[in-house]
Structure 1
Amino acid sequence: MKILKKAITLNVGLVLIGSAVFAQNLNDAKKAIDAEQYQKASSMLKSLVSSQASNGDNYYNLGLVYLKTGYIDSARAVFNKGISADAKSASNYAGLGEADILSGNATSAKTNFDKAVAAAPKDYKTYLAIGKAYLAQDKPSEDVSKPDFANAIANLTKADELDAKDKDAEVFIGLGDAYALQKKNSEAIGPYFRVGDIDPTNRRAGTQLGKMYKEARSFAEGEQELNKVIAADANYGPAYRELGELYLQWSSFGTDKPKAAKATELYKKYLDLTDKSLESQLRYMQFLFYAKDYQALEQVASSIQVPANDPKGIIVSRLKGWSAYENKNYPQALTNLTEYFAKQKDTTKNLAYDYLYLGKAQLKAGQDSLALINITKAVAKDSTNADALSEVAKSLYDAKKFGKAAQVYEKAIKANPNGKGSLYNYYYNAMANYFDYGAKYSAKQNPSKDILVKADSAIAKVIQISPDTYDAYVTRARINSLLDDDKDPKGLMIPFYEEYIKKISEKPELVSANAKKLSEAYDTIGGFYFYKDKAKAKEYFDKSVSVYPSGTFAAAKLKELAAPAPKGKGK
């Protein structure tokens, strides 16, 4: 009996030792995930799945690695294997729900979350997994999904209630994230601080605090928090990434320009500490784009190795195209972006920048019509790209395609009526319509004066925005000369020429430089009065000769006025 008891005791000991080893291995894998060492975590978890095939947590965490690196279909396959291996694995149902959320299928996500609760209704980990899943979102720039904060907080709060002894710091990280993502910083701080009490070795909460301060533009506070994390663990990669991004933003506000160079160094450190996975390299390339280090970006994008048929290859084509354009390699940009659009079958994944750079590359290649189509799409996605419409319009204007140029300037004005460059849009819209009318008139096409009305409206806006844009008065006068009745002119141009004369005459230093246009104003007004009020006409012609002696029109008209009146017939 003693021998039997000893054997039982020994067997129990072996079970406990085996559980401890397993727990340690899974815990290490989770730490690798948290440190964004995804290749390392994947390798560890695949080994665990192989050796501990009946444990659902192994599959769940491997699935999370796939989700975090953007392989949603692979994640689903792993979660489903986890359910097959462990029918009571609530976390794998929650993982399927997270995959649904990232795919934009909220209905299916709810179904899977309900299955998770049914499988383990009393386990806080069920609600923790569901709460974190509701916070899941694709990269914000891709705008595929947004967090469901209400459901996230409800489930995380339920997890906190069930974890009565506060054993798991992840619950409080989840709650902190839920508030931080909503910019509710005061609510986020409490849960993040609570993490340190539960697990002093946890670095994620401090990193998230630094990120939160960064996004609130409290750069000094964010720097302090992130440096605390690095001081506690010099090998925690995500802290270097967040500090690098913080320095980049800080320098962009002009408060500390030298930090921009430091930002790149920190990001390289992050890469070194996160096993340079494809995901971390892609993130580095995006960082280089926002850091405007286009030379480095094109170099990295061109050298990165992407496995065949890996969907991430599409993103590399995108970044190759963006950087090639910024580096003035326009034909290469067109090639790369054409390749990107050929590969990208899901149009919801296309960003405003994709259309913008493709359109600009097409514009450089002389493909005006295609450029306009794609740049219009870029503006529809992000109105801050409206200045690119102006580039298309100016290209058409320079090619003397005035009618088309005017139409595109109208689009640019509609997209950006008051922003940067709007003054030029109004001015060139007026000029394009003015020249369009003139060309059609010269070609005897009987153009509608509605074209001139549009021109007048646009140039009036220029004067309203910038009253000291002197040439605008001359342009408006010329437009109104054409608007006037040919047979019975009303002198529509006179007020604008008079205003131009007044503006220039108030600043004597401008008279000499604007002599020819002043002469035009005097000549045109004098010409209007020539048959109505000869004394007034002479007054303006005299002024014209005075300001611009080499002019011929006023001199000829003065000679006519000085000539004897022709004798009447029969006298």
Structure 2
Amino acid sequence: MKILKKAITLNLGLVLMGSAVFAQDLNDAKKAIDAEQYQKASSMLKSLVSTKATDGNNYYNLGLVYLKTGYIDSARAVFNKGLATDPKNNLNLIGLGEADMLSNNPTSAKTNFDKAVAIASKDYKTYLYIGKAYLAQDKPSDDVSKPDFTSALANITKADELDSKDKDAEIFLAQGDAYALQKKNSEALGPYMRVNDIDPTNRRAKTQIGRMYKDSRAFAEGEKELNDVITADPNYGPAYRELGELYLLWSSFGVNKERATKGIENYKKYLDLTDKSLESQLRYAQFLFYAKDYQTLEQVATALQVPANDPKGIVVSRLKGWSAYENKNYPQALKSMDEFFAKEKDPNKILGFDYLYLGKAQLKAGQDSLALINITKAVEKDSANTEALAEVAKTFFDAKKYAKSAQIYDKVIAAGPNSKGVLYSYFYNGLAYYFDYATQYSAKKNPSKDLLVKADSSIAKVTQLAPETTDAYLYRARINSLLDDEKTPKGLMVPYFETFIQKVTEKPELVTPNAKKLSEAYDNIGGYYYNSDKAKAKEYFDKSVAVYPAGTFAAAKLKELAAPAPKGKGK
């Protein structure tokens, strides 16, 4: 879940007003938070702070709901109100510290945590909730801040020491989370299993175990764990979410469409069980993107109703842009991505995919230069995007802007020397340098032969990676023909033309489609030997006429060779 700093859109009085529809019980509200039913939890807690206005616990848990749904400023307002109402309750100081951590202000957080400890230094819950506050920094990879695992574990360990009778399962749950977030699954397993010993009704620990199996690619084991949770409590939404993500990941191993479908089905169940809040709908939309269900994603993203000035509208613009592009709705994709970049002012929250889809949409709109800038940024964020940069290079190549194309292909190759499409990048990079030289040469601009050296180097890489690529030898021959000395040629082209001929003629089915190219090879070799070995020259010219009778060069040269020698010569 991406945490976004938001302004309070309601005054505090309205924030604290609530409905009494839900049972006014703090434990029920906490269960709703754990089940990710944030709207339900929020309504219950608003009711509680209205009817039990002197209990700081209610304010603290309401503030947590705001933090979990991204409303940091609203959470601060609630924590401050709780602190003013119940100053001896230190939980709201911890809440303020957690808000500071989420705002990337660890110094202020430490101050608030220290104040909380000063109020109740021997209460294990003080250290437990401080430890959990440090863990709450777990955020997407594009954000700057990361969990402070050292501080988190130090506080959770202190809580465990003070709770000497091991009566609170929440401590072991926090320990498990601290290790699981670090991908230390073996260390996390023990604490999670202890949770079940203390509180068999706890669903999250077993859900987390299923998640760890998923992360370890032990899909069948994870499936069993999560189905056990659902059997025990069919209304526990997070288990369906994890099961959905497990099926999605599992489907990528062997591309199993049935599992991908099951993934979406389980995610829909999660959505239904989490009261379809904007938060859960956004998470569902993101899931659809990774499930590659772009048609549904565009429908869901378009239907999302986001309040004015709500920063989550930024995420919606992103998802609209991504899905519209994948659905070939290019004008809408460009419009949505332009909206996204106009709204998102924090460069740390811009993903590689954002630059990628903006650049690709610009490419479709003919905005080649802008596309190059943004797709280059996408590659800088994630080298997996080099394929899109190759598309830009090819666009410049097709437009006969060979110098620019070659420069971009250089970047593509440098960014992904072992990438899937690097063979084509080397090939077109070589052609771009070759045609750049040829274009300048034809225009009598005296181009540097360094262009030909670069062209030959790239095409040589093609012959190394894919030796059966016949055209690579043909182009190396053409390039080396230009590299050779014009007045006293050394025949640099000959071995490459010979290899081309060999590669084509050893497979009879290739001869007819390559007849004209074979004629070119025979003509050039024959021409090279014309002045030094006329018998050899005739051999190649004969082959040229045989394979491509429509050719004129070899026929003309054969006539010259057959003509009587001028008088006074040949004696």
The interval holding the TM-score normalised by the smaller chain is over 0.9
Distance 2:77 2:494 in 1: 78
Give the partner amino acid of 2:559: K
For the 8 Å contact 1:102–1:144, the answer to whether it is kept is no
Matched with 1:538 is: 538
Tell me how far 1:256 sits from its aligned partner. 4.4
Unaligned runs of 5+ in 2: 1-21
SS for the counterpart of 1:165 is coil
Cα-to-partner distance string for 1:465-513 (whole Å, 9 max, x where unaligned):
1111111000111111111222222221111111112222333333333
- Matched to 1:102, the amino acid is L
Corresponding residue number in structure 1 for 2:440: 440
Q: For residue 337 of structure 1, what is the amino acid of its counterpart?
A: M
Aligned residues with identical type, % of pairs = 77
Partner of 1:90: 90
In structure 2, relative to structure 1, the CA distance for the partners of 1:491 and 1:88 (3 Å cut) is farther
Deviation at 1:182, TM superposition (A): 2.0
Q: Distance in 1 between matches of 2:490 and 2:101?
A: 68
| Partner AA of 1:42 in structure 2 | S
Q: Give, in whole Å, the separation in 2 of the partners of 1:461 and 1:163.
A: 66
Contact 2:526 2:541 in 1 (8 A): yes
Q: Following the alignment from structure 1 to structure 2, what is the Cα–Cα distance between the partners of residues 70 and 138? A: 13
Question: SS state of the match for residue 112, structure 2?
Answer: helix
Q: Structure 1 CA distance, aligned partners of 2:255 and 2:427?
A: 36
Bigger shift: 188-197 or 547-556? 547-556
Instruction: State the secondary structure of the residue aligned to 1:551.
Output: coil
Match of 1:125 in 2: 125
After superposition, the CA RMSD in angstroms is 1.8
Measure, in 2, the Cα distance between the counterparts of 1:534 and 1:132: 88
Could you tell me how far apart the structure 2 residues matched to 1:133 and 1:409 are? 47
What is the CA–CA distance in structure 2 between the aligned matches of 1:92 and 1:449, rounded to whole Å?
Answer: 72
Q: Equivalent residue for 1:158? A: 158
Q: Secondary structure at the match of 1:130?
A: helix
Per the alignment, residue 378 of structure 2 pairs with 378
SS at match of 2:554: helix
Taking the TM superposition and a 5 Å limit, the aligned residue runs for 1:336-485 are 336-485=336-485
The whole-number CA distance in structure 2 between the counterparts of 1:568 and 1:75 is: 107
Q: Which moves more between the two structures, 448-457 or 528-537?
A: 528-537
Moved over 4 A (4+): none
Aligned mates of 2:501, 2:25 — CA distance in 1 = 85
**Which residue of the partner structure matches residue 35 of structure 1?**
35
Identify the range of structure 1 (331-340 vs 200-209) with the bigger mean alpha-carbon deviation. Answer: 200-209
Whether 2:255 is the aligned partner of 1:290: answer no
Match of 1:16 in 2: none
SS at match of 2:551: coil
Q: Which amino acid aligns with 1:382?
A: D
Matched, 1:555 2:555: yes
Q: Distance in 1 between matches of 2:325 and 2:85?
A: 50
Tell me if structure 2 keeps the 8 A contact 1:209–1:225: yes
> SS where residue 142 of structure 1 aligns?
coil
Q: Give 5+ residue unaligned stretches, structure 1.
A: 1-21
Give the structure 2 partner of residue 174 of structure 1.
174
| Residue in structure 2 matched with residue 195 of structure 1 by the alignment | 195
In the alignment, is the contact (CA less than 8 A) between 2:372 and 2:389 conserved in 1?
yes
Asked if structure 2 preserves the Cα contact closer than 8 Å seen for 1:93 and 1:112, the reply is: yes
1:70 maps onto 2:38 in alignment: no
Asked if 1 retains the 8 angstrom alpha-carbon contact of 2:24 and 2:44, the reply is no
- Counterpart of 2:512 in 1: which secondary structure? coil
Equivalents in 2 of 1:294, 1:254: separation in Å?
21
**Offset of 1:138 from its aligned partner?**
5.0
Give 1:5's aligned residue.
Answer: none
Taking the aligned partners of 1:113 and 1:533, their CA distance within structure 2 comes to 92
Residue equivalent to 1:238: 238
- Scaled by the length of structure 1, the TM-score of the pair is 0.93
CA distance in 2, matches of 1:101, 1:234: 35
| Paired residues of 2:139 and 2:146 also in contact (CA < 8 A) | no
Q: Give distance in 2, aligned partners of 1:23 and 1:145.
A: 37
Letter in 2 for 1:65: V
Counterparts of 1:440 and 1:87, CA distance in 2 = 80
Structure 2: distance between partners of 1:320 and 1:184:
36
CA displacement, residues 384-421 of structure 1 (integer Å, 9 cap, x when unaligned): 01100011111111111111111111111111111110
Does the 8 Å contact 2:56/2:85 carry over to 1?
yes
Partners of 1:256 and 1:503 in 2: CA distance? 40
Check conservation: 1:103, 1:144, Cα contact below 8 A. no
Aligned match of 2:48 = 48
